Amino acid sequence: MKAKISVKEISLDMKKITAYILMLCLVFTCAFALTACKGNDVNETPKPSEAPTDEPTNEPDDEPTEAPTDEPDTDPTAELLAQAAHTGYELGYDSPLEIDFDGDGITDTILVTSETEPESGDFTVYVTVTLGCDSENPYVYESAISYFAKVLLVDSNPEDGRLEVVIATTFDSDDSCIDVLRANGGKVESLNEWCCFQSYEDGVMSVLIRTDIMGTNSYCASAVIGDSGITVLPDEYELVGHLDCEVIDSIDVLVYDEESETFCITRTLEVGETVYAYATDAASYVLLVLGDGSLARLDFELDEEICIPVINGRYQHEYFTIPYAD
């Protein structure tokens, strides 16, 4: 016998089914919403697509795109030659210099050495010049025993392609000498002048020359290296020291006239007056400062053998007390 189901029971069962369905819908809806929110969470840290690596994706390029420019483009030899022409390039000891000395396009060698005297401490300077065209026969220069020496490489005439070595030495009694080495016709020659080297600039040497005009003294002059040797340029040279000379025999001089700006006033210097030499051309006259401060000119002829002035046929020390050295 079948059980009878009432309308009330069916209605109740339908409500339960509907509730279950709504509940399931709600659960699915919440689950979907949670999944969507979780996928769009901005606070979530994204995971890298690949494993992390310490190495950069591209290797750094440490090298510059162009060659570095820290080193100068200047040629050391060109700088040396420029200095040799301008102020002279000082050569050191025991350090050979390779350079074209004679201008033939072949490298030559210059070496400066010295040998010291054990007792005095003075020394001898040696300069060895080996020409590339004749390397089996070096030229060796030997100085006098000196207490001062300076060796310079100079270029007195940049147009002839040759260089020169200037050797300045000072030795006993404060005597000084300048020797110049240069190549000529495939050989090295030595030129010399008895004077004291002071400086070099643009082909001209400043020198101090010893003289016995109105006493042993010195004067500054300019000198150049020419084909015939060292040439002192003519000038009126001011003497370094003021050496008093007493008149021992009367003598006429020409006093400077400011109005005419010439030496035209004749004056006789009397015995006992004191004068000193101020300047000279080192060849024919000397300017004297007289006791009253006036300036006078005294003409002479130079005895070339002993380099002593001759006045009116008599040596200067026959008219004045002359303070000679040596």
From first to last of its 326 residues, what are the pLDDT tens digits of the chain?
Answer: 444 444 444 454 556 666 666 666 565 555 555 555 444 544 444 455 555 555 555 565 666 556 656 665 678 899 999 999 999 999 999 999 999 999 999 999 999 999 999 999 999 999 999 999 999 999 999 999 999 999 999 999 999 999 999 999 999 878 899 999 999 989 999 998 889 999 999 999 999 999 999 999 999 999 999 888 899 999 999 999 999 999 999 999 999 999 999 999 999 999 999 999 999 999 999 999 999 999 999 999 999 999 999 999 999 999 999 999 86
Domains of the chain, by residue range, sit at: 76-202, 244-318
Sheet arrangement for strand 89-90: 89-90, 148-154, 164-170, 176-184, 187-193
User: Shortest CA distance to 167 belongs to which of 159, 176, 157, 158?
Assistant: 176
Rounded-to-integer distance, Cα 54 and Cα 188, Å: 71
Q: Do the strands 217-226 and 229-232 form a parallel or antiparallel pair, or are they unpaired?
A: antiparallel
| Helix ranges restricted to H, 73-220 | 76-86
